[in-house]
Amino acid sequence: MTDEPSYFLDEQAAFEKVEALRWPDGPVCVHCGAYLQAGRVTGRGARAGLWFCRACKRQFRVTIGTIFEDSHLPLNKWLLACQLVGLEGMRGTKLREHLQIASHAAVRMRRAIRAVLGSEPASSLDEILRRAFEVWV
């Protein structure tokens, strides 16, 4: 387990990976479209991956509008699930055991990832994540 990438283990690292893919040139506000006007919300109690836009004064996360939004599961578990389901074809029961989550959560997660994948097999985690940005829920 120790040689797993940090984005499978840590939620902030998971956000940084997804942000680097979706915003290669820096954050873009999902509300007003302002470019490089946002700062990270940090400090005690701040949720991972949260940004504040100085242009429109609203908060956002890179996951807005994707399958990863509105989930109680941390993003690092989602990334691991993408790897296990999308690249290794792991089934629901094993996924639940591996991620140590409730079975209904594992079923929902797997279904969402399968929907993102469609019928084309993906060859890398990055490719799955890019597809997840294109599938707006």
Give residues in contact with Zn ion (CB under 5 A): 29, 31-32, 34, 53, 55-56
C-beta of 58: minimal distance to Zn ion in Å?
A: 6
Question: 53 or 112: whose CB is closer to Zn ion?
Answer: 53
Which are the contacts of 106, defined by CB distance < 8 A and separation ≥ 6? 92, 93, 95, 96, 99
Question: 18 or 29: whose CB is closer to Zn ion?
Answer: 29
C-beta of 76: minimal distance to Zn ion in Å?
A: 26
Question: 57 or 72: whose CB is closer to Zn ion?
Answer: 57
Contact 92, 110 (CB under 8 A): yes
Which residue, 12, 3, 2, is CA-closest to 79? Answer: 12
**What is the rounded distance in angstroms from the CA atom of residue 93 to the CA atom of residue 95?**
5
Question: 56 or 73: whose CB is closer to Zn ion?
Answer: 56
C-beta of 137: minimal distance to Zn ion in Å?
A: 21
C-beta of 125: minimal distance to Zn ion in Å?
A: 29
Report residue 110 as tokens.
């797997």
Q: What are phi and psi of 64, to 5 degrees?
A: -55, 130
